[in-house]
Amino acid sequence: MTNLSEPCRSNPQVRLHALDALRAGALLLGLLVHSAMAFMAGTENAWIVHDKGSSPLADLAFFVPHMFRMVLFFMIAGLFARLGIQQLGRRAFVKDRIKRIVLVFIGFWPVIMAGIIATAIVAQAAGFAVPPPPKAGGVPLFHLWFLYVMTLFYAATLAGTALRLIKVDPAESVGGIGERLLASPLAAPVLAIPLAGAMLADPRWLPWFGVPTPDQFGLPGAGALVGYGCAYALGWWLAARLAMLGVWAGRWRLNLGLAVGASAVFLWQFGLKPDFAPLHGPQWILAATSYGLGAWGWTLALTGLAQTYLNRPVREVRYLADASYWIYLLHLPVVMLLQVVVIRSDIPLAIKMEAVVLAATALLLGTYHLLVRRSWIGAWINGRRKG
């Protein structure tokens, strides 16, 4: 039996295949989430175009992945951050993150802005009533907010390690009651506590839309800082206790049951139609509790599932993992433009949404293969690939 209290010293030559696959999946699910927004009930004024109808399938396609995917992503980001500092050293890690996170944000933000403006012009020319931009001032982050928040977390991490407030060496990590709880069936409920608390503390929280993501420069709200910050911190801790992944692999069915149950309770209480009204009283507590349990139940279940079935080299999965960053960076204007193309067709709504997802994936995967994978762009955002 693996000893969880024994520090893990990572081998820089070993690729964590299951976590690579999970990270790619978290990014690629963004295409589904944003494709669904044109076909959901109640989002007519929140998206660039909207179908005249709506579908519960689109509501589910948004709600379920949105509940967990960025919690999962930031947990993996924290884990790889610690491994990166161990393997590269602080100085090389900083250079790498500036190149692949900060400069990617600076380089891709104008492309996304131009793409969205161009799509809005096309939509208006086609006769769509495009919603006006938000009235609040500031520079929008779009879906690239995750790069901005990661940069803040990296900066805090580096400051903490420089001041020796945060440990890098696995031998300096400690276990204790927290480790025992995370190795127990209570892991998801324990992890849900700070996330639920942060959402309850925000009087403007809209439960159906989960963790409030920052849409402009500035300090993110408490929900994002606590929700994603705790996920990042857990990943940092996991990097010194990779054996915990094996424990979660043995409990993926339990956590999946918890995730499905918590999601069902939320939707049973609040319905499939997105609600833009804040809640109060017992309903608010139920919403935060079930959402937090669902987010961490899905995260631990999928982590365990991937550890069970994907913790080995699979060429196709490795390829998608390499391509996922490029696909996610550019997907938003592509998805929006495809929605403009299909929205007025007479085919069933579910087929329209599926067509948008598949066409966007094919287009972006094709550009990755032809223009990015072995080019300077691929070397910039991913590093050069040999296989």
Q: What is the pLDDT of residues 27-86, one digit of tens each?
A: 999 999 999 999 998 888 889 999 998 899 999 999 999 999 999 999 999 999 999 999
Per cent of the chain over pLDDT 70 is: 92
* In a domain? residue 8: no
Mean pLDDT of the chain: 90
Looking at residue 298, its pLDDT comes to 99
pLDDT band for position 173 (cuts 50, 70, 90):
low
Q: What's the pLDDT tens digit per position in 338-380?
A: 999 999 999 999 999 999 999 999 999 999 999 999 999 999 9
Q: Does residue 309 lie within any of the structural domains?
A: yes
Per-residue pLDDT of 285-295, as tens digits, reads: 999 999 999 99
Phi, psi of 167 (to 5 degrees): -85, 140
Alpha carbon distance 266, 225 (integer Å): 23
Predicted confidence at residue 137, as pLDDT, reads: 63
Does residue 9 register a pLDDT over 50? no
How many other C-beta atoms lie within 10 A of the C-beta of residue 237? 21
What are the tokens at 258?
Answer: 């918890």
Instruction: Give one word for 228, left, alpha or beta, with left for phi > 0 and alpha for psi -120 to 50.
Output: alpha
Query: Given the structure tokens 């490029």, which residue do they identify?
Result: 326
* Residue 25 within any structural domain of the chain: no
Distance CA 203, CA 361 (A): 37
Give me 113's structure tokens. Answer: 């802005």
Whether residue 46 lies inside any domain: the answer is: yes
The structural domain count of the chain equals 1
- In this predicted model, what pLDDT tens digit does every residue of 206-257 receive, in sequence order? 899 999 988 888 888 889 999 999 999 999 999 999 999 999 999 999 999 9
Q: How far apart are CA 35 and CA 333, in angstroms?
A: 11
**pLDDT value of residue 386:** 53
How far apart are the C-alpha atoms of 18 and 312, rounded to whole Å? 7
Distance in angstroms (rounded) separating the CA atoms of residues 333 and 331: 6
Within its chain, how far is the Cα of 93 from the centroid?
22
Largest CA distance in the chain: 65
Beta bridge partners of 216: 140
Give domain status of residue 327, yes or no. yes
> What is the per-residue pLDDT for 2?
39
Angle between helix 281-309 and helix 252-270 axes, rounded to 10 deg: 150
Residue 209 lies in a domain: yes
Question: Per the domain annotation, does 121 fall within a domain?
Answer: yes
Q: How far apart are CA 75 and CA 301, in angstroms?
A: 13
Cβ-defined contacts of 64-68 (< 8 Å, 24+): 64/263, 64/298, 65/29, 65/32, 65/33, 66/33, 66/209, 66/210, 67/210, 67/263, 67/291, 67/294, 67/295, 67/298, 68/259, 68/294, 68/295, 68/296, 68/298, 68/299, 68/302
Q: Which domain holds residue 252?
A: 30-381
Closest-CA residue to 229 (of 242, 214, 244): 214
Give the whole-angstrom CA distance, residue 367 versus residue 371: 5
Structural domain includes residue 374: yes
DSSP lists the bridge partners of residue 140 as: 216
Q: 284 falls in which pLDDT band (50, 70, 90)?
A: confident
Whether the pLDDT of residue 277 is over 80: the answer is no
What pLDDT is attached to residue 170?
A: 63
| pTM assigned to the model | 0.93
Q: What percent of the chain has pLDDT over 90?
A: 73
Q: What is the pLDDT of residues 98-156, one digit of tens each?
A: 999 999 999 999 999 999 999 999 999 999 888 877 666 678 899 999 999 999 999 99
Q: What is the predicted pLDDT for the residue at 53?
A: 87
State the pLDDT at residue 74: 98
